[in-house]
Structure 1
Amino acid sequence: MNKKTTIHILSLILFTTITFIRCSKEDDEINLNPQAGQSFLNIENERYTVTLNAEEPPEGQEGIWRVYSGQHYELGNEKDPKSTFSGMPGEMYRLGWEVSQGKEYKAETITVSFKPLNASITTNVGDTLFNNVSIELEAEAAKFGTIGHWDIISGDGGRIEHADNHIAQFIGKEGTDYELSWRLVYYSPVDSTFKVEDVKSIALHTDTLRADAGEDRRYIRNKVEDEIKYTALEGFLPAGANGQWNLIEGEGGLVYMSQHATSLFEGQAMEDYFLTWTVELDGYTSTDTVNIHFRDKWGLFVDERDGQHYHTVELNGLEWFAENFNYYQAPNEYAWSFYYGQASQAYIRDGYAVETEADRKYYGRLYNYPAAYEWAPEGWRIPTLQEIKDLVEILGGENRAMPKLVDGGETGLDLVFGGLLSYSGNHVENKDFFFDQGKIGYLWTDSFNPDTYGCKLMFFDHYNSVTQEVSALYQTCSVRYVRDIKSEE
């Protein structure tokens, strides 16, 4: 073998060796690609736990979870890419999914954070518990493993029933200042001595206990044909108190559940019922009274200025007085009223002077237009001419309508033939002229004409009605008011 051949052989050997070494190094190179999955931010769920979502490493590599920051946590299985992870409300954690092969490793990080606790009191409490020494407390309920509790921070003699429930009852002493709190607590999953909490508080002042039986209700509707009438009572039962209904006046009344503030009550139409509602709480006792009245064909209105009662009836979308107005107010220079035949210069052409209580209740007083307009009870008004015409029309026209509208007619409006007064204005040379009692009825309509100082009257008898403009000042007649139909009073 010559020298040249030897050099060539050695070169081939060297090239082959270098190529083998290079291939061996490439075969030994490690590819690490950890996939930790998504982060979990501001999580609020049961036990403040998430399921991690890393990818399983390829064969020959190993994965493990590391917690780089954050305290009081619990990791289900550090080698499981889908491990559970539990932490604390309000805490933020930084986790890494580390993938390794041999001595080589690489990690990808994610963030897990949990919402902080947020205690919230939903009870709307003013500065003072007016007419009361107790209140039902309500907060947003403890959830996701938290524990809630009510406490009295300050104030003497108070107590809280069901303090571990988000709905509780506070009972205090009269005329005392209190501060109350609702506290949420969450304990560490790995250390029961460690906890996080949030507290909200309210301040209040107790008053004197006063029972509340609800508003008087003298306008309760049931079906007219129902012999027995029903309504739900509207008493108020203070938190922690006991209550008792008692019927003190009225025939045929029945309280179904006498210890329930909103018990069903049974009664009869056109009967006035008076009930007491008595509440007792920690030695304090108070009683309130309520008036209940069921309407039949007629409702009942009470003029609070003088306590007079008036039957009312509902016709064509309006509620009408079913009795003539009978309210007295001292006259002034332009508004006055009289009973029929009772003026100082009276001349009675028809009928007789209205003197007895029964006659005055039946006929009512006669008013000039300013008095009728200004002295109406609150919420009531004089009917318009069109409203009267519409009522007559829906009842079949004049010949058919009037028998239904006058006293004893089927509508219950019971119009009365109260007559008319032409007033002298105290001019001694003139008479106060009363006429048509028992023959014709007269009613004011809301049709005042400021140019003529006149107003239209409705004249009616058993079969007909007409209208005519007269002096708004010197003619006086009966008044029937109307108002929009109310649901209940």
Structure 2
Amino acid sequence: MKIRHILFLSIAVLMGLDSIAQSREAKNKHFSHKMGTYTDPRDGEVYKTITFIREHHGGTIERTWFAENIRFNVPGSKTYNGAPEYAKTFGRLYNYEQANLACPEGWHVPTIHEWKHLFHFFGGWHHSGKYLIEGKESDMDMMFGGFGQPDGSFKGIGVHGNWWDNELKDSNSAGIITLKKGDENIYHSKVGDRHYLSCRCVKFHN
């Protein structure tokens, strides 16, 4: 009886693992991604890029993102606590207007729809956070770089990361994407456009 019980548990575990494997395969079979690099002609900085490729009605949809936060020195942009070494790891921080000047020609601050498209690859708003952070399987390496406030103070490094979306909500606020340490969820809210946040760039596509 004991042996039969052990065999039953073993089969159940194997079936569970097989189900997980099939689930992962089903999740990934409709899209893939490939890595590349981009050299910013303005300052020679080299960035990792990532192109997501999704099957769609017999064709494919491609979106290419920076796999690092932009660190182009737009006048008035900041580094966390004014520390230059911050920029290499976490990128620079920009207010809304500066963010829309930070991306090189042919690239732009992602719209909320482009962010949603990215999250869809990894399980949507409630699950994709764990895949997008540094070192995880998406290769997006989104880091907890904190933010700067209009009064010149800084908060949140190592705790959460905040990125602009390219949608001005009203005359003085804009949309932001937030990831929090230890949280699978993605958060979308709005903040005053004079705050200083990280910025990712996405390539214009035809």
Band of TM-score, shorter chain: 0.7 to 0.9
Moved segments of 4+, more than 6 Å: none
Letter in 1 for 2:68: E
| TM-score (normalised: structure 1) | 0.32
Separation of aligned partners in 1, 2:65 and 2:173: 24
Residues 314 and 485 in structure 1, CA contact (< 8 A), matched pair in contact too: no
Structure 2 match to 1:469: 190
Say yes or no: does 1:322 pair with 2:59: no
Structure 2 match to 1:9: none
Structure 2 match to 1:448: 168
Structure 2 match to 1:418: 145
Letter in 1 for 2:112: L
Structure 1 match to 2:201: 481
Per-residue CA deviations over 1:283-339 (Å, capped at 9, x if unaligned) read: xxxxxxxxxxxxx94211111111000000012521001011111133xxxxx3100
Separation of aligned partners in 1, 2:111 and 2:199: 12
User: In structure 1, the residue corresponding to 2:107 is in which secondary structure?
Assistant: coil
How many residues of Structure 1 are paired with residues of Structure 2 in the alignment?
Answer: 164
Letter in 1 for 2:147: L
Separation of aligned partners in 1, 2:84 and 2:39: 23
Structure 2 match to 1:458: 177
Structure index of larger Rg: 1
Identify the match of residue 114 of structure 2 among 373, 387, 399: 387
Report deviation, 1:485.
5.8
Residues 459 and 466 in structure 1, CA contact (< 8 A), matched pair in contact too: yes
User: In structure 1, the residue corresponding to 2:127 is in which secondary structure?
Assistant: helix
Once the two structures are aligned, what percentage of the paired residues are identical?
A: 31
Q: Which has the higher helix share?
A: 2
Separation of aligned partners in 1, 2:173 and 2:125: 25
Q: Which has the higher relative contact order, 1 or 2, with Cα contacts under 8 A spaced 6 or more apart? A: 2
| TM-score (normalised: structure 2) | 0.74
Residues 380 and 482 in structure 1, CA contact (< 8 A), matched pair in contact too: yes
Letter in 1 for 2:42: R
Q: Which runs of 5+ in 1 are unaligned?
A: 1-295, 331-335, 343-353, 425-431
Q: Which runs of 5+ in 2 are unaligned?
A: 1-32, 54-61
Q: Which aligned pairs between 1:14-25 and structure 2 lie closer than 5 A? A: none
Separation of aligned partners in 2, 1:400 and 1:468: 17
Residues 74 and 101 in structure 2, CA contact (< 8 A), matched pair in contact too: no
Q: Which aligned pairs between 1:210-359 and structure 2 lie closer than 5 A? A: 297-315=34-52, 317-330=62-75, 336-342=76-82, 354-356=83-85, 359=86
Residues 297 and 412 in structure 1, CA contact (< 8 A), matched pair in contact too: no
Q: Which has the higher strand share?
A: 1
Separation of aligned partners in 2, 1:355 and 1:452: 31
